[in-house]
Amino acid sequence: MICLLLVSELQFLSCKSKANGNENIIPVDISLYKTIEIPVQLFSGTGSNLDAEKLTIFIGREDEMPEGPTSFDVMQNGDLVICDPLLQRVVVYDSLGKFIRQLELHLPVSRIQTINGDDFWKLQIATSGEYFLFDSRVTSSSLRMQPVQEGFDDDENRAILLKENKGIVFKSSKGNQSIDSFNVNFGSQEKLISIQNFGTDQKGNTMVALESAPGTDSVLVNRIIQKYNNKNVLVAQIRDIDVNLFVYPIDQFRIRNERCFQMMPLKDKVIIHIWKLN
């Protein structure tokens, strides 16, 4: 057995064991790398007198869900773009969580995705479901939004949940017609209840998000994010994922720049958790 245990670099290494000529890789746990905190303010029905640098949360009253940031993405330079639908805007923060600017769209944007090297953002409007392509280079006074038909990449079902804690993940790259797939075997006492494919990077690594449940009579969920290498072998996973959010965004996770980002809107702040995947 060859076991590499360099504690300081544990998150990047896999323990390899050979038994009967077969190589098994024991996935390593990726630990939290960094946390960013962005302040929030409570929305009470009017956008006036609110601080542009803070994100906005609505607590909700009886029989009403809380609302808040619904989606985010990460630019190539590490800046964060976050949908703040209560104030009908998109807010940009730097990689430390410092406010940079806001774009007042006067529409409740519920989802955002950066494309083509950050210059364009695909947006979805909550109250219509329509998609727009937004040129982020223009200023707010001369917005340029073009309606588009195509939705978000991750709307496509690229993974299938099977019985007995198993699933299938389909790999394909744009322009490549061939589709590869691999199996996911969730070896846990908990029940595997959903599987989501975050996509395959240029190195062939595929990130997969799993939801599992300890019981089955009310909704209680744990999350795991797994990294499969270019040979479709599970090599690493994130297990210390906090699932206690105040507002559940549509896009809670993003895999960008070989890092996994989680946006967690709480009552008093929005936390961005970051794990390094390389």
Partner 1 sequence: MLTKTLKYSVYLCFAWIVVPGLAQPDPHQLPPLTRAQIMATAERLAQHTWDCKSINMVARCPQAKPYTCHFQLDQKVTGIAYDWGGNDDPDQFDKKLADSLAAGSHSWHGVTACTAGIDCSGFVGYCWGQKKKFGTVNIREISARPKYNIYTDMKPGDALNKEGSHIVLFAGYKPDGKPIVYEAQGAAGRVILNQNRSWDSLKGYKPLQYLNVQEE
Q: Residue 237, class by beta-carbon neighbours within 10 Å (0-12 exposed, 13-18 middle, 19+ buried)?
A: middle
CB of 91 to partner 1, least distance (A): 17
By CB under 8 A, residue 189 contacts partner 1: no
By CB under 8 A, residue 41 contacts partner 1: no
3-32 residues near partner 1, rule: CB under 8 A: none
By CB under 8 A, residue 220 contacts partner 1: yes
Residue 231 neighbours by CB under 8 Å, 6+ apart: none
By CB under 8 A, residue 33 contacts partner 1: no
By CB under 8 A, residue 46 contacts partner 1: yes
By CB under 8 A, residue 49 contacts partner 1: no
Which among 77, 84, 131, 122 has a CA at the least distance from the CA of 106?
84
CB of 275 to partner 1, least distance (A): 17
By CB under 8 A, residue 150 contacts partner 1: no
By CB under 8 A, residue 112 contacts partner 1: no
CB of 149 to partner 1, least distance (A): 16
Alpha helices of the chain — where are they, by DSSP H? none
Which contacts qualify for 163-167: CB closer than 8 Å, 24 or more apart?
165/191, 165/192, 166/192, 167/192, 167/195, 167/210
117-146 residues near partner 1, rule: CB under 8 A: 126-129
Compute the CA torsion angle 40, 45, 51, 56 (nearest 10 deg).
30
Residues in contact with partner 1 by CB under 8 A are: 43-47, 58, 60-65, 67, 70, 85, 107-108, 110, 126-129, 155, 157, 159-161, 167, 191-196, 211, 213, 216-221, 223, 243, 245, 248, 250, 252
